[in-house]
Amino acid sequence: MHKTPIRLADGRELFYYDLRDDAERGAVDRRPLDKVATASQVRRDPLLGDSVCVASHRQDRTYHPPADECPLCPSTKDRLSEIPADDYAVVVFENRFPSLAGDSGRCEVVCFTADHQASFADLTEEQVALVLGAWTDRTAELARLPQVAQVFCFENRGAEIGVTLGHPHGQIYAYPFVTPRTERMLRTAGEYGRRTGGRNLFDDVVSRELADSRVVWESEHWVAFVPYAAHWPYEVHLYPRRRVPDLRALDAPARAEFPRAYLELLRRFDRVFGPGQPPTPYISAWHQAPFGRPDSEPAVGYAPREEFALHLELFTVRRTPGKLKFLAGSESGMDVFINDVPPETAAQRLREVAS
């Protein structure tokens, strides 16, 4: 993987990732941009103890532009975009309308391909390996920032999810705090370890799923399953068989096998509702351990980061053709999910649509 850093006209960083070492990335951003001004704040909820990001400047962000004005497509002679080059493989750049900025963290955009009409599932295994390399590199670089406590790589796909740019892309959030969901996992893992004499919760969850009926894909280095208590109609968790805390720790065999595993899952999601249906909307989310800080210790009772298990969660809000799963009173008001599709049924259906 070859990485080329440049600066955009307003000072933001952009990184080209290429498979070829001789890729020429000398194009200059010719737009007359002012320096980005943000008003990002992180506020602590005194009742729940979690954090809320307030980012009023995002009201002006780009919203459903026509394809010929897409800011994530390569630049042309007549139209300048966020990417100065006239073509690219994978690009990562600082978000122009970040939810987190400065001392409050950082937000980046990941463009998976220059092809506006493609989706992640259309990529080749070689292209997916390059995206994995970019995710890993950005995790490593963002981990060095003193204000960053956790890095979250994710993709939202589909208007039903709320996507406002149709170009195939994802995002990276570098939080200045440990997210509530990760805190809950670490707390639950710590309690489980004390209760079981030091056993690892993530290892035992994967072992139990391998012995049950919800596995949808497995290989030498990865296993994918619908979890026993799935929140969403179709939800798959993908784990490396060798537990590691984050993307940086994946070994070469797991990296080599990941593209095949991930592409198979995405393609099954697009087939799960039958032929003739529109592409399945989904959220794909990497869960990584937060970073240890020299001046801080893990919270009392929480599992240390080395006991966390890197995993990817893939789920859709579509529950059946033409119908979506909306978060209603129980889910939004009390955080208690009600799933209309039994996980065993979802797993069986995802096996039926295997390649």
Q: Report pLDDT for 57.
A: 67
What SS3 state is found at 97? coil
Across the range 107-124, mean pLDDT stands at: 97
Q: Report pLDDT for 38.
A: 78
Q: Can you identify the CATH homologous superfamily of domain 180-352?
A: HIT-like (3.30.428.10)
Of 192-206, 241-255, 279-293, the range with the lowest mean pLDDT is 279-293
**Is the pLDDT assigned to residue 328 strictly greater than 60?**
yes
Tokens of 155: 């993709």
Calpha distance 269→314 (Å, rounded): 9
With beta carbons less than 8 A apart as the criterion, state whether 166 and 69 touch. no
Q: Report pLDDT for 62.
A: 64
Instruction: Give the mean pLDDT of the chain.
Output: 93
pLDDT digits (tens, 9 = 90+) for 255-283: 999 999 999 999 999 999 999 999 999 99
Q: Token pair 């994802």 is at which residue?
A: 170
pLDDT digits (tens, 9 = 90+) for 172-215: 999 999 999 999 999 999 999 999 999 999 999 999 999 999 99
Percent of the chain with pLDDT over 90: 81
Q: pLDDT band for 297, please (50, 70, 90 cuts).
A: low
**Is the pLDDT assigned to residue 296 strictly greater than 70?**
no
The dihedral sign for the CA sequence 281, 227, 220, 308: positive
Of 65-74, 156-165, 303-312, the range with the lowest mean pLDDT is 65-74
Calpha distance 345→327 (Å, rounded): 21
Q: Report pLDDT for 294.
A: 42
What SS3 state is found at 122? helix
Across the range 280-293, mean pLDDT stands at: 91
Across the range 154-168, mean pLDDT stands at: 93
CA-based nearest residue to 113, from 157, 169, 154, 158:
169
pLDDT digits (tens, 9 = 90+) for 30-88: 999 988 777 788 888 888 888 888 887 666 666 557 767 899 999 999 999 999 999 99
- Helix 180-195 vs helix 201-210: crossing angle, to nearest 10: 90
What SS3 state is found at 331? helix
Calpha distance 197→195 (Å, rounded): 6
Give me the active site residues, please. Answer: 169
What is the identity of the amino acid at 250? L
pLDDT digits (tens, 9 = 90+) for 117-144: 999 999 999 999 999 999 999 999 999 9
Tokens of 207: 């072992």
2-175 CATH fold:
HIT family, subunit A (3.30.428)
Q: pLDDT band for 295, please (50, 70, 90 cuts).
A: very low
Q: pLDDT band for 300, please (50, 70, 90 cuts).
A: low
Q: Report pLDDT for 11.
A: 94
Spell out the alpha helix ranges (H) of the chain.
Answer: 125-143, 180-195, 201-210, 252-271, 334, 343-352
CATH 3.30.428.10 in the chain, residues? 2-175, 180-352
Cβ within 8 Å of residue 250, ≥6 positions away:
136, 240, 244, 258, 310
Q: Report pLDDT for 7.
A: 97
